[in-house]
Amino acid sequence: MSGSAVELSHRAMAMLRAVAAHRAQMSCSCEPDLFIDGFACCDQITAHDLARAGYIKPADTTTVSGRVPAELTEAGRAALAVTTAA
């Protein structure tokens, strides 16, 4: 996943919706893990891809360890907007 022309899977879109609903947290690392409703996401590879591609990011960048709320980036919000408009 990189760039704006990438088609996101249904699972990736569900992960973005969970982040948008404030149900997700991320670990603070170079390959951040995603937790939804307190549980580790079943597809950490997709979670890493979403973070690397700039769809999601940690809401608190001052914390260096532990979990912080996850938030959508502008690209993540745009990806969700396209699917709701369709």
Sorted by where each begins, the domain ranges of the chain are 10-85
Say if CB 18 and CB 36 are below 8 A apart: yes
Say if CB 69 and CB 35 are below 8 A apart: no
Question: pTM of the full predicted structure?
Answer: 0.86
Tens digit of each residue's pLDDT, the chain (86 residues): 444 445 799 999 999 999 999 999 999 888 889 999 999 999 999 999 999 999 999 998 777 778 999 999 999 999 999 876 65
Q: What is the pLDDT of residue 74?
A: 97
Say if CB 50 and CB 71 are below 8 A apart: no
User: CA-CA-CA-CA torsion for 41, 38, 69, 31, nearest 10 degrees?
Assistant: -30
Q: Can you say whether the dihedral through the CA atoms of 4, 85, 38, 8 is positive or negative?
A: negative
Q: What is the pLDDT of residue 10?
A: 94
